Amino acid sequence: MGGMENNRVLVIDDEEAVCRAINRLLRARFTVVMADSGPRALEILRRDDGFAAIILDLVMPEVSGMDVVEWIEKNRPHLCEHVVVLTGGVFDGRGKDFLERWQGLLLEKPFDPARLLAVVEEAIGGRG
């Protein structure tokens, strides 16, 4: 997968409404790939890491966003700087610890469209 023409965004969220909203906001400018769970996200990333940005919800059942980020850090480290963590602001201890450590981009729910687009652009690295 080449660099500049890559405008693919992986969206990982177990809430269908959130996925749909993000897709609606991004699809005019980006190719959006959806994963509705952590396991599904890992399945996609194992065979395809050609994403310009990854938006992921921190809190999901089974495999959380934190688990996905840890997998990316170990197995696809080049993607780390392109990850946007989506948070609804409710955390257990692990979530708090994760956010204190997290150096990357953060998007709070509910987000407005302009903020979402700005953060995706930033995740991609400002390549218009």
Percent of the chain with pLDDT over 90: 80
Query: In this structure, is residue 1 part of a structural domain?
Result: no
Query: In this structure, is residue 2 part of a structural domain?
Result: no
- What residues form DSSP beta bridges with 105? 84
Q: Which of the four pLDDT bands, split at 50, 70 and 90, describes residue 86?
A: very high
pTM score, two decimals? Answer: 0.91
The CATH number of residue 85's host domain is 3.40.50.2300
Residue tagged 């194992």 (tokens):
46
Task: Give CA angle at 115 (7, 74), nearest 5°.
Answer: 55
Q: What is the mean pLDDT of the chain?
A: 91
Model confidence over 32-80: pLDDT tens digits?
999 999 999 999 999 999 999 999 999 999 999 999 999 999 999 999 9
The range of the structural domain enclosing residue 64 comes to 8-124
Residue 3 has pLDDT above 50, yes or no: no
Pinpoint the alpha helices (H) of the chain: 16-26, 38-47, 65-75, 93-101, 113-124
Query: In this structure, is residue 65 part of a structural domain?
Result: yes
Q: How far is CA 101 from CA 24, 94, 97, 127, in A?
A: 31, 11, 6, 27
